[in-house]
């Protein structure tokens, strides 16, 4: 999973504890990486990022499985868990 956000983005900061939890819960099964698209705008452009915080999920072969524009207000953990369990693992 690649989290595309920014260090100074408020919604991205709200996502940080959830991403830490995902790293812990899925250690050894799922890699969670963060890319600051404000500091690396070319990466964001190439990835088609239009809004942050956005998460992209890839299978073990590097094929994109799903793209989620996150909203910390929703039950995001349930959505992410469903993607990981039913589409990736």
Q: Which residues are catalytic?
A: 9, 12
For residue 68, cis peptide bond before it (omega within 30 degrees of 0): no
Q: CB-based burial of residue 13 (10 Å sphere; 0-12 exposed, 13-18 middle, 19+ buried)? A: middle
DSSP 11-27: HHHHHHHHHHHHHHHTT
For residue 65, give the H/E element and its range. strand 64-69
């Amino acid at each position: 999973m690649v989290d595309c956000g920014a260090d100074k983005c408020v919604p991205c900061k709200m996502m940080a504890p959830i991403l830490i939890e995902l790293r812990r819960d899925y250690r050894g099964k799922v890699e969670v990486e963060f890319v600051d698209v404000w500091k690396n705008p070319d990466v964001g452009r190439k990835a088609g990022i239009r809004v942050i915080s956005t998460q992209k999920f890839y299978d073990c072969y590097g094929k994109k499985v799903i793209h989620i524009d996150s909203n910390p207000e929703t039950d995001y953990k349930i959505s992410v868990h469903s993607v990981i369990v039913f589409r990736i693992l």
